[in-house]
Amino acid sequence: MVAFDFRIAGDEIRTRVVIEFEQQPEFSYHLLASPYRLVVDLPDTIFVFSDDLARPRGLISDIRYGAMAPGRSRVVLTAAGPVKAEMAEISENESEGSFRLVLDIAATTDTEFSKLVEEQQWDTQGTAPDTDVARPQDGNDDMFTVVLDPGHGGIDPGARGRNGTLEKDLTLAFGKTLKSALEEVAGVRVVLTRDDDRFISLPERVNIARQNGADLLISIHADSFRLRRVRGATVYTLSDKASDEMSREMAARENRSDLVAGLSLEDEQDTVADILIDLTRRETEVFSIDLAREVISAFDGHIRLITNPHRSAGFRVLRAPEVPSILVEMGYLSNVDDEKLLTDPKWRERTAELLVAAIKTYREKIGSVSN
Ligand SMILES: [Zn+2]
């Protein structure tokens, strides 16, 4: 399926969105709350129109589109207030043999919006976040399992560099480089949460780590920050209270990933705070902090670090209770010098080697504690 044109017109009362397709698409749509969104599900679609065409206007404040999963794509239209679809129809452009999807979106009241959300039929198969808690595997094999998590992907591109680099591409490239470097180490098994350009929800990423009985999880990012002079690597661990304002902002941004992709977070519960889990969490926290320190000391003097490079905040991807987890911002795409480094495969290789060294040291220390 190819979508080759996108048009949006209208005002704060009524907005029309038209998407042109080469073939006739099967589609479905639904509404989601907090924030108000209209989500259109499509079969596997390549969006070839220019990003400039899909600029928000009228009722729509944000537009995202892209891959969700193999065979599925999605358009997410975010609105500033409650909206409804007055029309959602496919029609054929007879002269060209192409098809257009027309969405007429109108402002509505909160009451009507909630009623529509409640009444809608939504085939949730594969679209709702996977909240099943995986049964953690016993670490009964001798392999040391590292789960690498390239941030973002598919419909969620992450940050965009000033020269157009997409975070989701960098994190994937780096994830693959790090995987090959780590696989050189005897006894280490590496699992990537994604090895292509697809969307994976944050709970799914956590589940992949748990299901694989991960000994650690490293989530890889290269975000942007509003202060463009900020540059260098940062290593984050999980905490309820953010260590500082910047970390709070970064976590809020990362945690929006699922919203951007049109997932509903309402039914996601925080893990029950029973005492056993609390104890596991406390132990996991200590290991996570150790790992963060090893990474920083491996980086120190070789690659640039921001001031106070170990920070913490409430990143959802770091919430596996029994898997020591860190999130590494390798640099900031909002900084032109960092963008240059991040896009350099040589730099990525060197950085991967430093991470491998850190993981090795961490693993040796853990080994000497438990033996
Ligand atoms: Zn990111």
Compute the distance from residue 305 Cα to the ligand 1 centre, in Å: 17
321-347 burial string, b = 16+ CB within 10 Å, else e?
Answer: bbbbbbbbbbbbbbbeebbebbbeeeb
Is 151 in a helix, a strand, or coil? coil
Compute the distance from residue 173 Cα to the ligand 1 centre, in Å: 14
Compute the distance from residue 151 Cα to the ligand 1 centre, in Å: 5
- The percent of residues above 90 in pLDDT, for the chain, comes to 73
| One-letter amino acid for residue 8 of the chain | I
Domain limits of the chain? 2-119, 144-370
Of the candidates 57, 103, 59, the residue with the CA atom closest to the CA atom of residue 80: 59
Compute the distance from residue 314 Cα to the ligand 1 centre, in Å: 14
Which protein residues have a CB closer than 5 Å to ligand 1 (ion)?
151, 158, 221, 223
Task: Look at residue 281 in the predicted model and tell me its pLDDT.
Answer: 80
* Mean pLDDT to the nearest integer, 130-134: 41
Compute the distance from residue 167 Cα to the ligand 1 centre, in Å: 7
Report CA-CA distances (Å) from 246 to 243, 251, 317: 8, 9, 18
Q: Could you give phi then psi for residue 315, rounded to 5 degrees?
A: -70, 125
CA torsion through residues 136, 138, 139, 142, sign: negative
Q: What is the pLDDT of residues 5-53, one digit of tens each?
A: 999 999 999 999 999 999 999 999 999 988 899 999 999 999 999 989 9
What is the helix (H) or strand (E) element at residue 111, kind and residue range?
A: helix 110-119
CATH classification number, 144-370, choose in 3.20.20.60, 3.40.190.10, 3.40.630.40, 3.40.50.970: 3.40.630.40
Domain 2-119 falls under CATH 2.40.30.30 = no
